[in-house]
Amino acid sequence: MPTDPLSQLLDTLDFAWRRAPATRRALTNIQWRADACDAGSILFFQRFDDGRSDDELYRRYLADGAFSVLVVNRPLDCFERLTDKAIYVARSDDWPQVVARFCDLCYPLGSSRLTFIGVTGTNGKTTTVKYLESILAAHGQRVLSIGTLGLFRNGERLMETGFTSPPQIELRRLLHAQQDRCDVVVMEISSHALDQGRAYGIPLQNAGWTNFTQDHLDYHHDESSYFSAKARILDLIQDGGRLYCSSPAVARQLREAGLSRVPVEVLAPATLEPDAIAAKPFLALAHNRRNYALATALADGILGPGARADWRHLSPVDGRFECRTIGNRTLVIDFAHTPDALDTILTAIRDGFPRTRILTLFGCGGDRDHGKRPLMGAAVARQSDHCIVTSDNPRTEPPERIIADILTGMPTDGVEVIVERPQAIAHLFDWLAERPTDEAWVALIAGKGHERYLDRNGRKEYYSDQDEVERSLKRLGWI
């Protein structure tokens, strides 16, 4: 009989199928990445319907793995080739609970000492989390935040995780390591994470839902499945908690689907005095005032309700409406990469800069939802006086094909195509420099935001919109 706790737990759980090893060796750790395994590892490998064959997964992840035990969420066709491995197949519906049992053993979490807040939504998760982090920290809370920008403690970046919501084992490892250094954990929780059970067992005091628009249909296949995945955040909210929502349409859809397990409260955009807008110009944007209202409501659950000028503690969020103004030229870098996000930010620019013209540079990611490409093109064309279509993480697709899909949603006039993003940004500046100096322009560079890479041909190469903007500002003598 095995004596190590991991082997004992394997023996006690009810799996759908198992192949125990002929020779037992001590198990010492759990992993979600095959390349992190050693001879004492259990590899938890979650299979998705992503179009890849079992043979490809075997060759890419499993063939050379050093793990001793493989735990999967469904049978794979390659089991007979893993002759030296013990294999356990969990029932698909039990997967998050099975992983959680091992996480409890390896990365125990004193959840009674911590307060957890989760934020989901298509757009605005990062901004809402960063606003909430700033508010809580200003009132003496030790805050750990996890999201698209990485892992932060008290506003200081500790690491990039590479995920909006880290995988279940990685999330528990991070929380276990940081739990004695924080009072509140504020998390972005993506639809992928909710669908895959990555946040299973995290007891949310309250949660926020920003909005819901088309995205990630390459994964969820249709909007109904996408919405259902988002709605699983309700299962994480503890009794007595509630879901705060910036979108009346989301609240109505939850109610009509009978999914309102906890109270759902719809919030109006925050109303701010002119001095607040003058001090924090990013709050002139209606969607940021919605994010701010969500953050203050979630903060009330921890700090208690009261009259607080929380806006004083906010700072611009990396890659979210980053502004530079040089004379009559205002340059905006933003992460907007969905039809709704582009429409929202361009509407905000129209409202905030009513006497200016708008130039927009953008692209679409490869190997993702093809259907949103012409919708993004149409959103930009509706709101812009001039457009430059370029690349944005083409991944394994030819960027010219992605751009062709975008152009089907745009008129032929007022649209330029420059495939390479650095050259496109340089051209944007040259184009602005040729315009009469008395013309006021806002140039929106959309899609990359905080990201410091371009993902193409299976590699992530260093790249930054911010760097390219600085390069052109210096080249033209504008700074």
| Residues 172-188 pLDDT 10s | 999 999 999 999 999 99
Residue 260: band (very low, low, confident or very high) from pLDDT cuts 50, 70, 90: confident
Residue 220: band (very low, low, confident or very high) from pLDDT cuts 50, 70, 90: low
| Count of H-run helices and E-run strands, the chain | 16, 21
pLDDT value of residue 441: 97
The amino acid occupying position 467 is D
In CATH, what number does 111-313 get? 3.40.1190.10
* pLDDT above 90: residue 408: yes
pLDDT value of residue 264: 96
* Phi, psi (rounded to 5 degrees) for 371: -65, -25
Torsion, Cα of 51, 52, 55, 58 (10° steps): -140
Q: Convert the pLDDT of each residue in 2-53 to its tens digit.
A: 679 999 999 999 999 999 876 778 999 999 999 999 999 999 999 988 778 9
pLDDT value of residue 216: 52
Q: What is d(CA 148, CA 448) in angstroms, rounded to the nearest whole number?
A: 12
| Class of residue 307 by CB neighbours under 10 A (exposed 0-12, middle 13-18, buried 19+) | exposed
Fold type of domain 322-475: Protein-Tyrosine Phosphatase; Chain A (3.90.190)
Q: What is d(CA 103, CA 95) in angstroms, rounded to the nearest whole number?
A: 12
Please say whether the dihedral angle defined by the alpha carbons of residues 318, 320, 326 and 327, taken in this order, is positive or negative: negative
* Phi, psi (rounded to 5 degrees) for 103: -65, -40
pLDDT value of residue 193: 94
Q: What is d(CA 461, CA 308) in angstroms, rounded to the nearest whole number?
A: 44
* Phi, psi (rounded to 5 degrees) for 474: -70, -40
Domain residue spans of the chain: 5-106, 111-313, 322-475
Averaged pLDDT, 361-368: 94
pLDDT value of residue 126: 94
pLDDT value of residue 459: 92
pLDDT value of residue 281: 82
Q: Please tell me the pTM assigned to this model.
A: 0.84
* pLDDT above 90: residue 432: yes
The total number of residues written for the chain in this structure: 479
pLDDT value of residue 20: 86
Q: What is d(CA 25, CA 4) in angstroms, rounded to the nearest whole number?
A: 9
Contact of 257 with 234, CB cutoff 8 Å: no
Q: What is d(CA 228, CA 7) in angstroms, rounded to the nearest whole number?
A: 36
Could you tell me which residues are beta bridge partners of residue 244?
Answer: 208, 265
Q: Convert the pLDDT of each residue in 330-358 to its tens digit.
A: 999 999 999 988 998 999 899 888 899 99
pLDDT value of residue 2: 63
Tokens 């299976």 map to which residue?
Answer: 458
Residue 214: band (very low, low, confident or very high) from pLDDT cuts 50, 70, 90: low
pLDDT value of residue 182: 97
CB atoms within 10 A of CB 369: 19
pLDDT value of residue 316: 86
pLDDT over 90 percentage in the chain? 80
* pLDDT above 90: residue 145: yes
Residue 111: band (very low, low, confident or very high) from pLDDT cuts 50, 70, 90: confident
* pLDDT above 90: residue 115: yes
Averaged pLDDT, 385-412: 96
Q: Which of 23-27, 156-160, 417-421 has the lowest mean pLDDT?
A: 23-27
In CATH, what number does 5-106 get? 3.40.1390.10
The amino acid occupying position 153 is R
Quote helix, strand, coil % in the chain, to nearest 5: 40, 20, 40
Q: Convert the pLDDT of each residue in 66-95 to its tens digit.
A: 999 999 999 999 999 999 899 999 998 999
Cα distances from 19 to residues 15, 77, 78, in angstroms, run 10, 14, 13
Q: Calculate the average pLDDT of the chain.
A: 93
pLDDT value of residue 226: 85
* pLDDT above 60: residue 150: yes
Contact of 268 with 247, CB cutoff 8 Å: no
